Structure 1
Amino acid sequence: MTGGLWPVSDALAFLTGSWRAQRTVRDLAEDATGTFTGTTAFTAEDGGGLLHFESGAFEWRGVTRPAERTLRYLPGETPGTAAVHFPDGRFFHGLDLRSGRHIADHPCSADLYRGEFEVYGADSWRTVWRVRGPAKDLVLSTDYRRLPPAAARPR
């Protein structure tokens, strides 16, 4: 992606809606690359926050399989920020896009996940997760493009 960063005053408001997600997964240790193509929807939850649901197809080593994941984005401690949680309630990472860029760390057993989030405009953002550990050496890069709202159906 090119261009400057785009500051976001309210992460939850920015993310709300549906996005086209295109991810490249590189396993540096095994010199293998896979791709995910699908959609990510951020929908309002009762009591505040957003439910993040991603679904699509993941191609790895010539085999394509359905893939999905769910996260919860809750209001952060600072206005405009978010706290990202796994479906079981465990904390994943914070998210502060007020500068248009955020770096988050998530230790997971012996591995460290470091995520870099960059916003390029009202309809475009990117994440790059670098995963390092005794058995992992991965780079996961995802580009998001906002999908237009569904057209109203005639009655």
Structure 2
Amino acid sequence: MSGTARYWPVPDVLAHLAGCWRVERTVEDLASGALGRFEGTTSFSPLPGGGLLHEEAGSFTWQGVTRPAERTLRFLPGAAPGTADVRFADGRPFHDLDLTSGRYVADHPCSADLYRGEFTVRDADHWRTVWRVGGPAKDLVLTTDYTRDVPQAPASPAPGA
């Protein structure tokens, strides 16, 4: 590739995300240089009435201490076909998501902080989010790689078994 990013267009973000994904996230505090890491899984399962329930669970390591971590979001049908309206578990708005070009940038103001997320899709089984968080007390970059968790095909029985 000649330095030009390639994105994989997604005509329907909800259909694309449905299922289970392996998750690896790095958290970098640009002010202190501290690094954290999350590893786990994300499941996008159908919600009654449409949309997907996003449930993430795993382990987060920060400054040498590993703890369980989880979050829940709701991905609802968006205003335009194939898009999503992403909300926190309690229903508060988070951001819109439109991956029809394979790339999307979303902003989420939170008190004095601004979260700016860039979503990119590499292919049918890999996508990434990079959130840049800035504010009076925050200067972070959160990079998350998602890989579709495809079940392995069952082994063929041995001949004569």
TM-score with structure 1 setting the length: 0.94
Aligned length: 151
RMSD of equivalent CA atoms: 1.4
Residue of structure 2 aligned with 1:111, choices 109, 113, 116? 113
The whole-number CA distance in structure 2 between the counterparts of 1:48 and 1:142 is 26
The aligned amino acid for 2:20 is: S
Residue of structure 2 aligned with 1:79, choices 78, 81, 88? 81
Residue of structure 1 aligned with 2:55, choices 50, 53, 56? 53
Deviation per residue, 1:13-60 (Å, 9 max, x gap): 000000000000000111100000000000001100000000000000
In the alignment, is residue 38 of structure 1 matched against residue 40 of structure 2? yes
The whole-number CA distance in structure 2 between the counterparts of 1:84 and 1:69 is 13
Give the direction of change, closer, same or farther, for the CA distance of 1:77–1:108 in structure 2 (3 Å limit): same
The whole-number CA distance in structure 1 between the counterparts of 2:99 and 2:75 is 13
Percentage of pairs with the same residue: 68
The aligned amino acid for 2:87 is: H
* 1:2-151 matches, cutoff 5 A: 4-149=6-151
Q: In structure 2, the residue corresponding to 1:14 is in which secondary structure?
A: helix
CA drift of 1:149 comes to: 3.8
- The structure with the largest alpha-carbon Rg is 2
Give 5+ residue unaligned stretches, structure 1.
Answer: none
The whole-number CA distance in structure 1 between the counterparts of 2:153 and 2:50 is 26
Deviation per residue, 1:118-144 (Å, 9 max, x gap): 000000000000000000000000000
Once superposed, which parts of structure 1, at least 4 consecutive aligned residues long, lie more than 2 Å away? 149-152
Deviation per residue, 1:57-110 (Å, 9 max, x gap): 000000000000000000001000000000111000000000000000000000
TM-score with structure 2 setting the length: 0.91
